[in-house]
Amino acid sequence: MKIYFLLLFFCAVTKSCTPEKQPPEPTLELTGRWTWVESRFQTRGMPQPSITTPDSTGIAMEVEFLAGQKLKLYHNNTLVNSQSYELWQTPGNPAYILELGTRTIQPNLEEGPIYFTGDSILHIAGGYNDAGAGQTWRRIK
């Protein structure tokens, strides 16, 4: 009987010492260079969302997320903004929120909840009041 108790105790101790697998840190998933695919905007009363793309704006936008929560924004391969960003979570909500230091250059990166499709597509769900907005970015590096 002592053997069973010791075996059970040993299993319980080793299980409690095994670290649980943690989800990847979102800053690591963000790190790299991304190219803008499209932006969508829709508000109440609009039958269809307004969609802008690099072709419709004439601006090829890229963002590079660097270590230390810094980013660089490029328009047509020209650096137009270098700033900090922050990722935060609301308790109990698994989504991370992207928040920018400044938003002075247009078009710009959206702020809001982020999620990934695979390891190469980034979605940012922006919006305010009764309007919905979002951006899609594709990883290039």
pLDDT in tens, 1-15: 555 444 555 555 555
- Alpha-carbon distance 56 to 63, whole Å? 19
pLDDT reported for residue 22: 44
Helix (H, G, I), strand (E, B) or coil at 141: coil
pLDDT of 51 higher than 80: yes
pLDDT in tens, 83-105: 999 998 888 888 889 988 876 66
Tell me if the domain spanning 21-139 has CATH number 3.30.70: no
pTM equals 0.74
How much of the chain exceeds pLDDT 70, in percent? 75
Of the candidates 129, 119, 123, which has an alpha carbon nearest to the alpha carbon of residue 96? 123
pLDDT in tens, 61-73: 999 999 889 999 9
- Alpha-carbon distance 122 to 62, whole Å? 12
Q: Domain locations in the chain?
A: 21-139
Residue 103: how many other CB atoms lie within 10 Å: 12
pLDDT reported for residue 21: 41
- Please name every residue paired with 67 in a beta bridge, in sequence order, or none if there are none: none
Q: For all residues of the chain together, what is the average pLDDT?
A: 81
